[in-house]
Chains A and B, each alone.
Chain A
Amino acid sequence: MLLKRLVLLVCLAGCPSDDELLPECTALETDSVMLVCSTLDNQMSDITDGSNVPLLAAPQGGHILFVGARVRAARDCQLTAKAALRDPSTQRVLGLEERPLLLDRKSDGWAVPRDGLDSMPNVAVCPSSAANTAVYDRPLELEITLSTLAGTPIITRTAQITPTCDDDWCRTDCAAHL
């Protein structure tokens, strides 16, 4: 009882109201989802089979793929996004991350990931102990699953992509691990 009262008091003092919460995106159709990647300066582009996707130097070390999805939506909203990079030659997953996908609706009816590195998955793939050949300049399989906030999968999309490096540091970090 005391704990409930304490929670109530804390909530009265600082809990966000429903109006302040970013709502969940509503029903998605297959043609209302497009995979995307972005750069450190928020230059977003669509991902299709054959796309090059840049490996980005992450602020805390290593190199990541910064990938997610844009969706048709009626308002700003969020989903859960899980992104994984798989090496088809070994079937091993080189990196996987799941996090909130935070979307801002634009005037064209698409809700796109917000600016900044925290709005969609940061898939840490370099270094990866699962990589027995370099992670860059070869085709790999990207798999992205969108789920409800409760974790129920909604849609999974895959694409053959080629991660790319812009500098020697990236090529060293993303070389074969063993």
Chain B
Amino acid sequence: MRFAFAFILVATGCPAPYEPWLLDELSPADGIWVRTPEFKVAAGQEVQDCYFFDVPDLAGGADLWIDRAQLALNAGSHHMNVFRVKTIVGLDPAAGTPIELGGVQGTVVHGADNMNCWKSANWADWPLVANSQQSTEDNPIIDWKLPAGVATRFSPGEKLMLQVHYVNASDQVTPWSARAGINFYRSKDGDTMELGTLFATQQNIRVCRSNPTPSYSGTCAMPAGTHNVTAANGHFHSRGTEFRIWAWDGLTTTRPDDSALFYDSDTWDEPDMATGLDVTLPTTGGIWWTCDYQWSEPAGGCEAVDARDPQHANDCCYTFGPTVETSEHCNAFVYYYPRVTEAVTCF
């Protein structure tokens, strides 16, 4: 019926109606819910906003254990990331504007007003909590249930940042309004094994007209012990052609063979969030990840790309940066258990 209705509208020249996603508003007994306001993304623009809020005290001062997360995005999103706020460098929640975020109150730092919301060095030691890059019209919600016995642990009053990035340009489009939402469901079955996260990024990548198919690989070691990977995804921009992550033994300097490959995506804009993985990393190991690229002519010409090249090579080089249209990334997000350290970061 929905398709028939949409067909009629398209046939008559009307745009298909937008059906917004819906998430339940959670009671304190069930968990935490967060909703950003709707906002417009003007044609040709990228919007990145940093929302801050405190974990509410829902259990009489006790920690909260979260064993299911729903992450929702209107179409057009490039990413949403949730971090635990640690060292304040340039991105200060106190400098934000107060804002209602559904089930919590918070502040927002708009990237359009404050470039610190764009600079990753500002959250270098902020542990990853969750992320989503899934924002198709047909599938706007990741419903992520952690393995039995495993949960994310929050302390009441702990400050979190929800970062939302939208694009409405040539590489990605935002056809309607932008919006993000999260539901963190409290565990009710006594989970005691804490979920840990690993965030790794390649520094100073460079994809140029004169070197159009570069590949970047790196490793990220885990503390010694047994770690099980349950979810993963990769992140790059439109020059990215393949993102792969292997289990690595932490000792050898040759790329693991493909029997150890546990994540492989050739989709840059809506990469798979692999959940339900059951990968045990070697006890002294970690991950090996690789990003492959194919240079392409920018839709608007090379001027903007050249302008941000620190080498000023005039070689139409995409270099490290957050803007989808003019820069590139190579970030790995890995979720494992049991957690052994506050965060594993490699950058």
Q: Which residues of A contact B (CB under 8 A)?
A: 10, 13-16, 20-22, 58-62, 64, 78, 80, 82, 84, 90-100, 102, 114-118, 122, 124, 127-130, 132, 143, 145, 177-178
- The reply to whether B222 and A129 contact each other, CB–CB distance below 8 Å, is yes
Across-interface contacts of A22 in B (CB, < 8 A): 210-211
Give min CB distance, B69 to chain A, whole Å.
24
Known: A95-B218, A97-B219, A143-B253. 20 other contacts (CB 8 A): A16-B295, A22-B211, A61-B345, A62-B345, A82-B253, A93-B221, A93-B251, A96-B218, A96-B253, A99-B205, A99-B215, A102-B211, A118-B205, A118-B206, A128-B221, A129-B221, A129-B222, A129-B286, A130-B250, A178-B341
User: Could you list some 19 contacts between A and B, CB below 8 A?
Assistant: A20-B210, A58-B203, A61-B120, A61-B124, A61-B125, A93-B219, A95-B218, A97-B202, A97-B219, A98-B215, A122-B202, A122-B203, A124-B218, A124-B346, A130-B221, A130-B223, A143-B253, A177-B223, A178-B223
A127 CB → nearest B CB, Å: 6
B117 to chain A, nearest CB (A): 15
With both beta carbons as reference points, the residue of chain A lying nearest to B209 in the complex is identified as A16
In-complex Cβ contact of B203 among A64, A94, A98, A127 (8 A): A64
B311 at the interface (CB under 8 A from A): yes
Contact check, B311 vs A95: say whether CB atoms are below 8 A apart.
Answer: no
Instruction: Closest B residue to A123 by CB, please name it.
Output: B218
Give the contacting residue for A177; candidates B205, B218, B341; CB below 8 A. B341
Q: Which residues of B contact A78 (CB under 8 A)?
A: 211
Q: Is the CB of A99 within 8 A of B214?
A: yes
Interface status of B139 (Cβ within 8 A of chain A): no
Return the 6 tightest CB-CB contacts between A and B, nearest first: A61-B124, A14-B297, A130-B221, A118-B206, A98-B217, A117-B204
- Which DSSP category, helix, strand, loop or mixed, fits chain B's interface? loop
CA distance A59 to B125 in the complex (A): 13
Q: Which residue on chain B has the smallest CB distance to residue A132?
A: B224
The chain A residue sitting closest to B319, CB to CB, is A118
B121 touches A60 (CB 8 A): yes
User: Is there an interface contact between B204 and A95, defined as CB atoms closer than 8 Å?
Assistant: no
B124 near A60 (CB under 8 angstroms)? yes
Interface size range of chain B in the complex: 35 or more
B329 to chain A, nearest CB (A): 10
* Closest Cβ–Cβ distance, residue A69 to chain B (whole Å): 15
> In residues 35-89 of chain B, which contact A (Cβ within 8 Å)?
none
A129 contacts B120, C-beta separation under 8 Å: no
Q: Which of A116, A129, A143, A145 contacts B223 (CB 8 A)?
A: A129
**B228 to chain A: closest CB distance in Å?**
16
The interface residues of chain B lying within 8 Å CB-to-CB of A114 are 311
Chain A residue numbers with a CB within 8 Å of B346 are 62, 95, 124, 128
Asked if B190 is an interface residue, CB under 8 A from chain A, the answer is: no
CB of A100 within 8 A of CB of B296, answer no
Complex-state Cα separation, A97 to B221, whole angstroms: 12
Asked if B323 CB lies within 8 Å of chain A CBs, one says: no
Chain A: CB-nearest residue to B311 = A116
Q: Is A124 in contact with B296, judged by CB distance below 8 angstroms?
A: no
Whether A92 touches B347, Cβ cut-off 8 Å, given contacts A60-B320, A130-B284, is no
Chain B residues within 8 Å of A, Cβ to Cβ: 120-121, 124-125, 201-206, 209-212, 214-224, 250-253, 284, 286, 288, 295-297, 310-311, 319-320, 341, 344-347
> For the complex, what is the distance from the CA of A21 to the CA of B294, rounded to whole Å?
13
Point out the residues of chain A lying under 8 angstroms from B253, CB to CB: 82, 84, 93, 96, 143, 145
- With most chain A CB atoms within 10 A of its CB, the pick from B252, B320, B346 is B346
- CA gap between A117 and B216 in the complex, in Å: 14
CA distance A130 to B223 in the complex (A): 6
Query: How far is B250's CA from A132's CA once the two chains are assembled, in angstroms?
Result: 14
Most central of A10, A62, A130 by chain B CB within 10 Å: A130
Q: Given contacts A59-B121, A177-B223, are A100 and B203 in contact (CB under 8 A)?
A: no
Q: Does A127 lie within 8 Å of B310, measured CB to CB?
A: no
CA–CA, A127 to B297, complex, Å? 36
Q: Is the CB of B217 within 8 A of A99?
A: yes
CA distance A117 to B253 in the complex (A): 22
Residues in A neighbouring B215, C-beta threshold 8 A: 80, 98-100
Whether B203 lies near A124 (C-beta < 8 A) is: yes
Partner of B347, one of A14, A15, A94, A124: A124
Contacts of A59 in B (CB 8 A): 121, 203-204, 320
CB closest chain-A residue, reference B124: A61
Q: Which A residues are CB-close (under 8 A) to B201?
A: 60
Could you tell me if A95 and B219 are in contact, using CB atoms closer than 8 angstroms? yes
Q: How many whole Å from B125's CB to the nearest CB in chain A? A: 7
**In the complex, which residue of chain A has the Cβ closest to the Cβ of B284?**
A92
How distant is the Cα of A176 from the Cα of B210 in the complex, in angstroms?
Answer: 41
User: Which has the most chain A C-beta neighbours within 10 Å: B201, B217, B221, B341?
Assistant: B221
Smallest CB–CB gap between B140 and chain A, Å? 29
